[in-house]
Amino acid sequence: MKTLDDQGGKISISSFRIEDYDRLISLWQDAGLPYKPKGRDRRDCIERELKTSAAIFLVAEREGKLIGSIFGTHDGRKGWINRLAVAPAQRTQGLGARLVREVEERLHDLGIEIIACLIENWNTVSMEAFQRMGYKRHGDIVYLSKRKNPDV
């Protein structure tokens, strides 16, 4: 666990525990993050992913309240940043960037040199935030997916 001081008090960043699942979902809902409760965001799906060595799932708390989260994964050669969420009242204070840096550091420690994120085209706030953190937009890449069902 890391502890940071900021203007609102101490913030701790630690590994996500499945016991915090309900608080995580509340954070995602407050943050307006799309949520697939019948698919990939089900408790058992996240719990299974937590058990892999490819998962870096972190949460940020202040005074016992969950105020941020980020999921990072990797395939052994490329890292991915997924599901960054910051409570609306905590935005524009650098917490999202701090969570991203923490996942980047952990991925770099694993030898991962390329880190990417996928952002839906309507989410301009996230696009701008990641571009400020040095991420480059690649308009020449087309994302394709094959889903077992629309809930995953």
Task: Sketch the domain layout of the chain as residue ranges.
Answer: 2-132
Query: Would you state the structure tokens that stand for residue 63, as one six-digit string?
Result: 């005074």
pLDDT attached to residue 98: 95
pTM of the model: 0.88
pLDDT attached to residue 123: 87
pLDDT attached to residue 19: 96
Q: Which helix (H) or strand (E) holds 129?
A: helix 124-132
Architecture of the domain defined by 2-132: 3-Layer(aba) Sandwich (3.40)
Instruction: Please return the burial class of 17, using the count of CB atoms within 10 Å of its CB with bins 0-12, 13-18 and 19+.
Output: exposed
* Contacts of 70-77 spanning 24+ positions with Cβ under 8 A: 70/99, 70/100, 70/102, 70/103, 71/16, 72/103, 72/106, 72/107, 73/49, 74/107, 74/110, 74/112, 77/112, 77/114
Query: What is the full per-residue pLDDT of the chain (152 aa) written as tens digits?
Result: 676 666 667 899 999 999 999 999 999 999 998 888 998 899 999 999 999 999 999 999 999 999 999 999 999 999 999 999 999 999 988 999 999 999 999 999 999 999 999 888 888 989 999 999 999 999 888 888 898 888 77
pLDDT attached to residue 57: 97
